[in-house]
Amino acid sequence: MDWAPTIEGWLDRLSAERGLSPHTLRAYQGDLGSLARFASTRGVTGPAGVDLELLRDWMWSLDREGVSRATMARRAAAVRGFFAALTRDGAIDRDPAARLRAPRAERRLPRVPSRKQAAETIDLLGAAASEEAPLAVRDLAIVELLYAAGLRVSELVGLDLPDLDLKRGTVRVLGKGGKERIVPFGAPAARALSRWIDARPGLVRGAGAQPALFLGARGARMGTRAVYRLVSRLLRDESLSGPKGPHAFRHAAATHLLDGGADLRVVQEFLGHASLGTTQLYTHVSIEKLREGYRLAHPRA
């Protein structure tokens, strides 16, 4: 039993059974590839030769290399899933990863654009879009929708025209694991999207036009990198220590909803989080803002 075909088989099953994204599958492939390379230095040529001691030595080597806790936790999880599947299938007699533990990932509070920063960014895009240039109108619609609906960038670029319902102010989103959800957006986003729908034909190329909602300058579906470049440029001068890509607006949407009194479970559904614990991170962001305001304003802080 060699590493490569066994890993590929497991990844194919994950893709078919759980609908994991290509990005997640590539990450898992890299995690298991890291283990395979380490195992080869110990003379182990396949999964059947792995034991708990080797796995612990591998984790220790990752720590010595300066690999982050979050990456180590993900790699340990990938390995546990991989060997658990091999054990269930009878490919190996005993699961060597059943007792494998990794350092707990640090949960850093995301720094998000304030309401003022978000509004100023959107106003800047609105001014650029005032001349109705298709790309400028598109950029405004992208940022409005990212912020209004709290979308992941992969969800945004995966949208097709039929997914958008301007009358109801909703968008149908295919999230992680192939899970579909309907997300609302407000009137400003609806106006920006309506303008983009009108301007979109200016970027359409050929008879077989793309059904994609957002198009690039050459008429093809817009990719994640292009959205990252757009948002990173907009947030470049902002005093944020956290992400300055599209996820910054997802963080902002969640935080501002909770600041405004939205129920935690409503925000969980809005964001498409499988675990409420993931959504709870944003309550800590709100508490930190409260503490900061208290320290600045209270005479006995």
Phi, psi of 164 (to 5 degrees): -95, 130
- In-domain check, residue 45: yes
Does the active-site annotation cover 244?
A: no
Strands 180-184, 164-165: pairing kind: unpaired
Q: How far apart are the first and last CA of the chain?
A: 63
Q: Which of 152, 195, 200, 244 is catalytic?
A: 152
Does the active-site annotation cover 247?
A: yes
* 12 & 50 share domain: yes
- In-domain check, residue 236: yes
Structure tokens that stand for 63 in this block: 């720590």
Does the active-site annotation cover 282?
A: yes
Domain region containing 159: 115-296
Tokens 């030595």, residue? 57
* 139 & 272 share domain: yes
For residue 243, pLDDT over 60 is answered with no
Mean pLDDT of 252-258: 88
Q: How many CB atoms lie within 10 A of CB 190?
A: 21
* 203 & 285 share domain: yes
- In-domain check, residue 99: no
Going by the DSSP 8-state scheme, the letter that residue 93 receives in this structure is S
- In-domain check, residue 100: no
For residue 241, pLDDT over 50 is answered with no
Mean pLDDT of 212-226: 91
Q: Which of 111, 138, 195, 247 is catalytic?
A: 247
Which range among 102-106, 168-172, 179-183 shows the weakest confidence by mean pLDDT? 102-106
* 74 & 130 share domain: no
Within 13 Å and on the Cβ side, how many CA atoms surround 93?
2
22: left (phi over 0), alpha (psi -120 to 50) or beta: alpha
Does the active-site annotation cover 298?
A: no
Is the pLDDT higher at 116 or at 280?
116
- In-domain check, residue 97: no
Predicted confidence band of residue 226 (pLDDT cuts 50, 70, 90): very high
Predicted confidence band of residue 178 (pLDDT cuts 50, 70, 90): confident
Does the active-site annotation cover 228?
A: no
For residue 112, pLDDT over 80 is answered with no
Mind giving me the DSSP string for 202-251? GG--SSS---BSSB-TTSSBPPHHHHHHHHHHHTTTS--SS--STHHHHH
Q: Which of 74, 195, 250, 256 is catalytic?
A: 250
Q: How many domains does the chain have?
A: 2
- In-domain check, residue 230: yes
Q: Which pLDDT score, from 0 to 100, does residue 20 have?
A: 78
pTM of the entire predicted model: 0.66
* 151 & 268 share domain: yes
Does the active-site annotation cover 251?
A: no
- In-domain check, residue 109: no
* 262 & 199 share domain: yes
Q: Which of 176, 191, 221, 289 is catalytic?
A: 176
* 154 & 76 share domain: no
* 241 & 123 share domain: yes
List pLDDT tens digits, range 66-106. 888 888 988 999 999 999 999 999 999 999 999 998 777 66
| CA of residue 54 relative to chain centroid, distance | 32
Mean pLDDT of 278-300: 65
For residue 109, pLDDT over 60 is answered with no
